[in-house]
Structure 1
Amino acid sequence: MSQLTPLHRPSSTAVGAVAPRPAAPELRNPPADYTYDGSFEGLLTVLFRVYDRRSAPNSIQPEDAVQGGLFAQAVAVATDDALATRTWEGLLRFMPEPARARLYHVFLSEDPERELLIFRYADMALRAGRDISENYADATVRRCQRLAQQLFREKHRMEAFVRFEKAQDGLFHATIEPDFDVLPLIASHFTKRYADQRWLIFDKRRHYGLYYDLTRTDVVTFEGSGATLRRGELSATVLDEREPLFKVLWQAYFDHVNIPERKNLKLHYRHIPRRYWKYLSEKQPRERRFEPINNKRGPNALGE
């Protein structure tokens, strides 16, 4: 387990003044292709090496997705946590903290061009010597802003639509498969909301999860005995025996508060898109047929 750190979860709320900065180094050497390990710290290390080598990137690709050219030899950049921290802190010398956090959000979006977008944004801010976050005339700024908005939309939906199942050992488990890598952004929400119970949220698409043990939230991966969790499934044999009843009660509640005469499917689909239905108990096939509650009394019941 590796504890979530401020570097993994940069703040997006505090606003800091941009400090004076030195002149931007000229990237006078021939452009190069860079590869890294796919982590955010690895990408920050690449940014440092770009200016250290004075060589702009033709491409920046994760090692496991390299598409090299016929003649070009990629520059493999090993992740250096000290250089990553230095680069991350150094970004505040030419952009405010919310703008810096946006670069991390672009990384979490997993956009195919995220690495070059982050480099271009940082390089433009470095050479401008001022905050460029509202320069929407620039395509890079607009693209970064749009990706950040899409990411936060997915974050809010995950916070609303995650449904937990209780295991026999008291662990509450939920499996998600979001479009973006939002686990680092939802960790704080679930840690505060479910501080009195152990829980695990597993990202089935990215094969890692968040685990809260009543004291802290950690990033976890599974090997060997965790094969079942790696597939994002919990066997019925490890679920709490009351879990099926909770599901039936939850479905019954939604059936009875539903008002058929006020059905608005267009509005419903907009607020709860179909791709999220797999997380919701109320959207699963009913194990018991719905029967309206007969709670209306006739005149004789009132002694009339």
Structure 2
Amino acid sequence: MANYIFDGTMTGLLCCVFRAFKFKEFDVLVTSKQNCQSGLFDENITVESNQEHANRVWSGLKSFNSNVGLRNFYYAFLSEQEEVFQHLFNFCIYCFHSSESIDRNYGHPDVLAISKWAKQVGREKHRMEAFVRFKKSKDALFISLVNPDFNVLPLIQAHFIARYKDQKWLIYDEKRNFGIYYDLKTIHNVHMDVYEVDNKIEVGSSQSFNIELDPEEILYDQLWKDYFKSVNIASRKNLKLHIQYVPKRYWRYMNEKTV
């Protein structure tokens, strides 16, 4: 069996589909370079990314799928799961061999799997939009370090542009070592040494930045904690329900959860 190895990008995955149709190879394993573990008798084929080939495949998918189907495809890809890459490849083969739209045929295992993963990524997107907290640096840059389960930064940037259009901000993904920086006009992808940033200056323990913070940041941090404490009704505390809606892994982003 052929084993297509790609660079882990959407472009690379779509190029695997392009090659499959070019050489009529449809019974194929798809693996990213980062997690390549081929079998003893597999034929390893490295598929190079080609934007033109990827665009042709994506245009074809747009012709056969609804906007919801395309969104689910993209969301599922951002899960970064090896099994999902295979489902996405199989979905493309199934799609181009069909004469009608199949993105809602949940009886098909690949369509169902993509839908399930898309929901998980969508849930993570929603929670990041709800729980991200910023700290203001001395140069008026608002910074937040995050560590989401899935690669949702491309999905949340529109939300934060709309909400904080008049502020410069940076949301940095510690796990994937890249961030999105808004300069009041456009979004930039940035890379930096997160261990130098998340180190010395501590305001609580939710997020720490080795960056000179605005002198009023500590004050605003404490004001928010006092507000949260004042509106909280201790006698009605339901920790089990609270964790259901705000899982503990998100508490590190929230000022009110620090001492």
Give the TM-score normalised by structure 1: 0.78
Q: Distance in 1 between matches of 2:141 and 2:154?
A: 20
Mapped to 1, the partners of 2:25 and 2:197 lie a distance apart of: 43
Give the fraction of aligned pairs with identical amino acids, expressed as a percent. Answer: 39
Query: Of 116, 124, 129, which aligns to 1:159?
Result: 129
Instruction: Return the match for 2:229 from 242, 255, 259.
Output: 255
Match of 2:196 among 216, 228, 234: 228
1:4-62 deviation per Cα after TM superposition (whole angstroms, max 9, x unaligned): xxxxxxxxxxxxxxxxxxxxxxxxxxx41111111111111111111111112532111
Of the two, which has the highest radius of gyration? 1
Q: Which amino acid is 2:243 matched to? A: Y
Per the alignment, residue 8 of structure 1 pairs with none
Aligned to 1:24: none
Q: Which has the higher contact order (CA 8 A, sep 6+)?
A: 1
Q: Which residue of 2 aligns with 1:302?
A: none
Match of 1:55 in 2: 25
Q: Stretches of 4+ moved more than 6 A in 1?
A: none
Contact 1:167–1:240 (CA under 8 A) maintained in structure 2 = yes
> How do residues 1-12 of structure 1 correspond to structure 2 at under 5 angstroms?
none
Encode CA deviations 1:263-295: one digit per residue, 9 max, x unaligned. Answer: 22222111111111111000001xxxxxxxxxx
Superposition map of 1:263-282 within 5 A: 263-282=237-256
Deviation for aligned residue 1:233: 5.2
Unmatched tracts of structure 1, length 5 or more:
1-30, 286-304
Distance, in Å, in 2 between the alignment partners of 1:81 and 1:127 is 23
TM-score after normalising by structure 2: 0.91
Cα distance between partner residues in 1 of 2:71 and 2:197: 31
Q: Distance in 2 between matches of 1:229 and 1:88?
A: 38
Classify the secondary structure of the residue corresponding to 1:106.
helix
Contact 2:75 2:118 in 1 (8 A): yes
Aligned-partner SS, 1:253: helix
How many Å apart are 1:181 and its aligned residue? Answer: 0.8
CA-CA distance at 1:230 after TM superposition: 8.2
RMSD: 1.8
The 2-side partners of 1:46 and 1:54 are apart by 12
Question: Aligned in 2, Cα 1:258/1:227: closer, same or farther, shift over 3 Å?
Answer: closer
**What amino acid maps onto 1:141 in structure 2?**
V
8 Å CA contact 2:61, 2:95 repeated in 1? no
Report deviation, 1:133: 2.4
AA partner of residue 70 (structure 2):
R
2: CA distance between counterparts of 1:244 and 1:205?
Answer: 26
Cα distance in 2, alignment partners of residues 97 and 112 from structure 1: 24
Q: Structure 1 residues 125 and 73, CA, compared in 2 at 3 Å: closer, same or farther?
A: closer
Deviations along 1:66-87, one digit per CA (max 9) or x if unpaired, are 1123243411111111111121
| Preserved contact between residue 222 and residue 230 of structure 1 (Cα < 8 Å) | no
